[in-house]
Amino acid sequence: MPPDNDTLAATDAPLLPIHRQPGFLSFLLSRLAAVFAMQIQAIVVAWQVYDITRDAMSLAYVGLAQFLPMVILLLPAGDVVDRFPRKRILQLSWAVQAFCSALLLLLAQANHGSVIEFYAVLALFGCARAFTGPTLQSLLPNIVPRAQLAQAIALNSSIMKVAVISGPLLGGVLYSVGGGSLAYAVCLGCFIVALSLLVLVPVRYVEKAKVLESTAWKRFSAGIRYIRYQPIILGAISLDLFAVLLGGVVALLPIYAQEVLHVGPEGLGALRSAIAVGALLMGLYLGVRGIKRRAGHVMFIAVAVFGLANLVFAFSTLFWVSMIAMLVAGAADMISVYVRTTVIQLATPDEMRGRVNAVNMLFIGSSNELGEFRAGSMAAGFGVVPAAVIGGVGTLAVVGLWMRLFPTLRRVDRFDDAR
């Protein structure tokens, strides 16, 4: 990957505290603004679409409209990330997402009863996200030194939860006060702030580019081949994929909020924020203490707790019980994210990070977006509570099976083992 004009000699940089590393705080703030926009937009689009249709399948299509473009573009995006300046790619992808917020603003002002246009904009948004995900994952190791990467990952993940917590809450309030128009205008402003702050981030730790594979297909599939022969990485990524694919209940929250818990958009925002609060608290703990030993074992326990928390939520008819269940689920999921991300970054050479992270984002996208489709379609067919219960039980089954299929992952002790 050719370095951009911001690239400095990594060997000349002193090992400063992580918060004093040049560009790290600007990177965090820029990503914070972008995630803030995404979270507001996610809850407002879901609520608005369901408000128009009153059909659970419409929520499934919200996830599918974003997932399909990601499936098509993620592998080529990973190749692009490894061949061109990552900071420039991130700027372009955020600019496209800002354009999507502007389009949603226009649709909200039109105030018609069709949702087809919303799906079209979400598809374009999914195209941009295909480049955003692997770029963000690959760019962080180019900003901070390797010795501080695990700490940077934990801090980055926990700080992002600030937006994940306040974004849905503010999204619900904005929708109640000014409808979709006000909410999408705020999203557009957040993306503009993110783009402005990203200009201040220097790219300092870029390894010398190596000769890439000769054909486009070989370049695209290099990440898949690498992960295939790394059982620790393969196990960690696939465990997260199937756990969230089966156990995730985020897509069902609008239905639970309206028909089970009987709360409005503010209550929906609070439920989504509870997930992020749990993740934030756990992320802050991991940023200070970290996981020193038995990382693989801890990850399996965390995914099992995630499934159990979603089962509690499935049966709950009390708002406060549902909030606690989402809080626990968010904390457990943060542990899984922390272990998986650290293992991938430490085990992957820089010239392949874009393609490996593209595969990782494909798994994440599959678990999130297809998980929404799974939950929405099952809710339409069997009812919302059975759909949530089946998902929680499925997550626990995956944990037991993966412990047998990937004993190497279960036995991971220290993160340095991934190297």
Over residues 321-351, the pLDDT tens digits come to 888 998 998 888 888 888 888 877 777 777 7
pLDDT higher than 80, residue 372: no
pLDDT score for 17: 65
pLDDT higher than 50, residue 9: no
The percentage of residues in the chain with a pLDDT greater than 90, rounded to a whole number, is 11
pLDDT higher than 80, residue 201: yes
Taking the CB of residue 298, how many other CB atoms lie within 10 A of it? Answer: 16
Q: Is 338 exposed, middle or buried (0-12, 13-18, 19+ CB in 10 A)?
A: buried
This prediction has a pTM of 0.70
**Average pLDDT, whole number, for the chain?**
80
Q: Which of 303, 321, 301, 300 is nearest to 312 (CA)?
A: 321
pLDDT score for 8: 44
pLDDT score for 356: 81
pLDDT higher than 60, residue 7: no
| DSSP E strand stretches across 206-304 | none
pLDDT score for 195: 94
Residue, of 307 and 378, whose pLDDT is higher:
307
pLDDT score for 176: 81
Q: Looking at residue 351, what DSSP letter applies?
A: G
Over residues 226-281, the pLDDT tens digits come to 887 778 788 888 887 788 777 777 777 888 787 788 787 778 878 877 887 888 88
pLDDT classification of 193: cutoffs 50, 70, 90: very high
Side chain identity at residue 29, one-letter code: L
What's the CA gap between 206 and 350, in Å, rounded? 7
| 163: CB partners within 8 A, 6+ apart | 32, 33, 35, 36, 39
pLDDT score for 234: 83
pLDDT classification of 13: cutoffs 50, 70, 90: very low
Identify which of 5-14, 41-50, 69-78, 122-131 has the greatest average pLDDT.
122-131
pLDDT score for 4: 47
Mean pLDDT of 124-143: 87
